[in-house]
Amino acid sequence: PSSVPISRTRLEAQSDLYRAWSAADDVKNKAARLSDAATQELQKASGAAQVKVGAIEVYSPKYYAACTFGGLMACGFTHAAVTPLDLVKCRRQVDSKMYKGNFEAWGKIFRAEGFRGIATGWGPTFWGYSAQGAFKYGGYEIFKKFYADLAGEENAHRYKTSLYLAASASAEFFADIALCPLEAVKVRMQTTIPPFTRSTLGGISAITSKEGISGLYKGLYPLWGRQIPYTMVKFASFETIVEMIYHRLPGQKSDYGKGAQTAVSFAGGYLAGIFCAAVSHPADVMVSKLNASRLPGEAFGAAMGRIYKDIGFGGLWNGLPVRIVMIGTLTGLQWMIYDYFKIFMGLPTTGGAAP
């Protein structure tokens, strides 16, 4: 108990007389102490990491390496975490009559295969999107600086949205080459019942033994068609939304602490994710269909024409509500993790005033 007496007005209730009130205060105080202790530990770890790595100058090789690693962390873990949602989405895209809803789908899968069945495809998802995230976020920082230098300072500021679009498209082009083989394994694992393999390496081996290396890349064109517009919207809308948020908040971006900046990153990322899902969904359906049902030796254009004839325009939007929830959450978490890692390493967060 405090040695300093608490002064109360005549009409103020005495919290010590009400046990529920006192218990709630105890919980809040303990939570605050735990939060403060966790913050101190993170600050110590952040300081130790910065000392070990050394000063990181913005746009230096160390800076790009840190952004690449941050992108790897942001994408691999988040995509793997939503594998159950992705599993149902892919199966409903391939066969819209398979399940009536998500909960029915998870119930049927759990009864047939247990928890392992609900997590089908998490391995290639984790490795594939870790590689993709590294190329995407690291490449975006590289291309953003490259195009800004080409345009010059004045034009880079005037046409910054075009610069964001060009940089993100360039980065995603290479990121999809890294992702495509593992995306092919993931989709086949998730859309064959029972799964044609239980491991990532087993899936790669099974595909290459029958179709060669080209079998892993037969979905590359629709993957570019899905991911490049998705990433362009993801980065350009995120940068714009975050800038708008800071513009409407009092003060400057630098006035806000780590927690506030991370919260802005999550909010901006979630809103950007909603736009991303709507723009890229038809191509996402086509990727699932091509990886699941493209015939051996069938031309890309012929396969797309056959699939579109089967499903029609409405079929291109199967699973959109699930994907909006999934992509909005994913994008928000990815930007939050990525920017928090940048803070952890002593770097400025993405968006807002350019450094």
Instruction: Write out pLDDT tens, residues 252-282.
Output: 887 888 888 888 999 999 999 888 888 888 8
Cβ–Cβ under 8 Å, residues 307 and 315:
no
Nearest to 133 by CA among 212, 174, 75, 189: 75
Residue 330 Cα to chain centre, angstroms: 4
pTM comes to: 0.76
Q: Which two tokens stand for residue 95?
A: 């066969």
Residue 355 pLDDT level (bands cut at 50, 70, 90): very low
Residue 334 falls within a domain, yes or no? yes
Residue 22 pLDDT level (bands cut at 50, 70, 90): low
Residue 166 is part of a domain; what is its CATH number?
1.50.40.10
Residue 125 pLDDT level (bands cut at 50, 70, 90): very high
Residue 43 falls within a domain, yes or no? no
Residue 16 falls within a domain, yes or no? no
Residue 47 falls within a domain, yes or no? no
Residue 38 falls within a domain, yes or no? no
Domain with 335 in it: 57-345
Q: What DSSP line would sit under 112-181, residue for residue? A: HHHHHHHTTTHHHHHHHHHHHHHHHHHHHHHHHHHHHHHH-HHHHHHTHHHHHHHHHHHHHHHHHHHHHH
- Give the chain's domain count: 1
Average pLDDT rounded to a whole number, residues 278-304: 78
Interval 190-235: pLDDT, tens: 888 877 888 899 999 999 998 889 889 988 988 898 889 889 999 9
Top pLDDT among 32 and 12 is at: 32
Cβ–Cβ under 8 Å, residues 245 and 267:
yes
Nearest to 219 by CA among 176, 279, 190, 189: 176
Interval 55-75: pLDDT, tens: 888 899 999 999 999 999 999
Cβ–Cβ under 8 Å, residues 320 and 278:
yes
Residue 268 falls within a domain, yes or no? yes
Residue 36 falls within a domain, yes or no? no
Residue 52 falls within a domain, yes or no? no
